[in-house]
Amino acid sequence: MSQKFDVIVIGAGPGGYVAAIRAAQLGLKTACIEKYQGKEGKTALGGTCLNVGCIPSKALLDSSYKFHEAHESFNVHGISTGEVKMDVATMIARKDQIVKNLTGGVAALLKANGVTVFEGHGKLLAGKQVEVTGLDGDKQTLAADNVILASGSKPVDIPPAPVDQQVILDSTGALDIQSVPARLGVIGAGVIGLELGSVWARLGSDVTVIEAMDKFLPAADEQIAKEAFKVLTKQGLKIRLGARVTGSKVDGNQVTVNFTDADGEQNLTFDKLIVAVGRRPVTTDLLATDSGVDLDERGFIFVDDYCATSVPGVFAIGDVVRGAMLAHKASEEGVMVAERIAGHKAQMNYDLIPSVIYTHPEIAWVGKSEQALKAEGVELNIGTFPFAASGRAMAANDTTGLVKVIADAKTDRVLGVHVIGPSAAELVQQGAIGMEFGTSAEDLGMMVFSHPTLSEALHEAALAVNGHAIHVANRKKR
């Protein structure tokens, strides 16, 4: 007789493991299935985010920025360091240790909450049965009242640049480059491409980013995107917009990339090439033909606003369903689904999911952009505040960028907060908290912000919405 659970979660990424923990906390007998194996050949929990995504990339970004500061900026503070060198192997080893610590922490949390972990591949069968193929090939079938599909995503491959993980790398292989490439190509000027390009540019690579779209960061507010393009270009990223890759040829330890742009056919040669053109849902062998679960035309699992699939009692969350592929989105969907299974009326506000690009300066936003709101015909009042006028930013020698607050001109309700600058992710999160409770620009302006802080820039931008900014000239008086 197969083992029976209240909830079975397939996938132990930031959506899956959070869903499993919350379900167990709510008194549900819960199992979680994971097949991913880390560098040591052992099952590693945490999904893309902890193993080959959010966490390792941030570790490399932090290490490379510290090198950049020591090399370029310490003298401003009166600090003399002599020759600064980067030991790439040590940087990579530090990244790997952070990953190991965090994935081990997830395993401990699942155990502490009483979640049964199965190592292997999970497949949904008819009748909410789940087949688990162990790492040794043995199969067993589990039964559940509820199943949560959280199988995640993987990098998109493109035929003109087939990944070999030697010279042409995807975002996973790019995390393990063992020496600084003299010439680095990046296909894709999205979050992953800009972050990984920044890491190696700081360490001395000549980086060219090839982007097929004519517009830079189209999802971001145009004012913020223009500032980001200017800043990143100044930092050394050569961003080629409107450039479509048509082919590539590996010759020994280098690769020549062919692409077309406004000037016609072009080619560039690199020592390493990173393909970062997006991610796609992982549904390979996830669903039996009679499982009853439907996929949409793009290969995502079809779900409603509460992540329920076409089969009662079967849910799907995270990268495998519609919406942004973000770890925090997946986690909150996991909590929502677990609570709904337990009988609670949980829901999620998809309009207020923050987006962050961890370059330096950081780029972050929540809510809608100025161009999107104007396209909807909304009358706006907008306030901005530059970090160049922030005392805290000056003290830290980190004054690039600005905060932008967008409010409805009729109601004063804040509809968007957009930031490029130091701690942009943290400032945007403050905006998200206020927006969740329907804050107005006036509300933010009336709050007391500690001084000196970077968050004062959010305060001043909110004041500027209605022409009340103190530490910068107002565009209008009221």
Instruction: Enumerate the active-site residues.
Output: 451
Torsion of CA 246, 272, 209, 398, to 10 degrees: 170
Distance, CA of 15 to CA of 22 (rounded, Å) = 11
Phi and psi angles of residue 253, each rounded to the nearest 5 degrees, phi first: -100, 25
The candidate with the shortest Cα–Cα distance to 471, out of 376, 388, 349, is 388
The candidate with the shortest Cα–Cα distance to 203, out of 67, 90, 73, is 67
Distance, CA of 461 to CA of 469 (rounded, Å) = 7
Contacts of 136 (CB under 8 A, 6+ apart): none
* 3-state SS record for the chain: CCEEEEEEEECCCCCHHHHHHHHHHCCCCEEEEECCECCCCCECCCHHHHHHCHHHHHHHHHHHHHHHHHHHCHHHHCCCCCCCCCCHHHHHHHHHHHHHHHHHHHHHHHHHCCCEEEEEEEEECHHHEEEEEECCCCEEEEEEEEEEECCCEEECCCCCCCCCCCCEECCCHHHHCCCCCCEEEEECCCHHHHHHHHHHHHCCCEEEEECCCCCCCCCCCHHHHHHHHHHHHHCCCEEECCCEEEEEEEECCEEEEEEEECCEEEEEEECEEEECCCEEECCCCCECCCCCCCECCCCCECCCCCCECCCCCEEECHHHCCCCCCHHHHHHHHHHHHHHHCCCCCCCCHHHCCEEECCCCEEEEEECCHHHHHHCCCCEEEEEEEHHHCHHHHHCCCCCCEEEEEEECCCCEEEEEEEEECCHHHHHHHHHHHHHCCCEHHHHHHCCCCCCCCCHHHHHHHHHHCCCCCCCCCCCCC
Distance, CA of 59 to CA of 99 (rounded, Å) = 9
Distance, CA of 176 to CA of 194 (rounded, Å) = 17
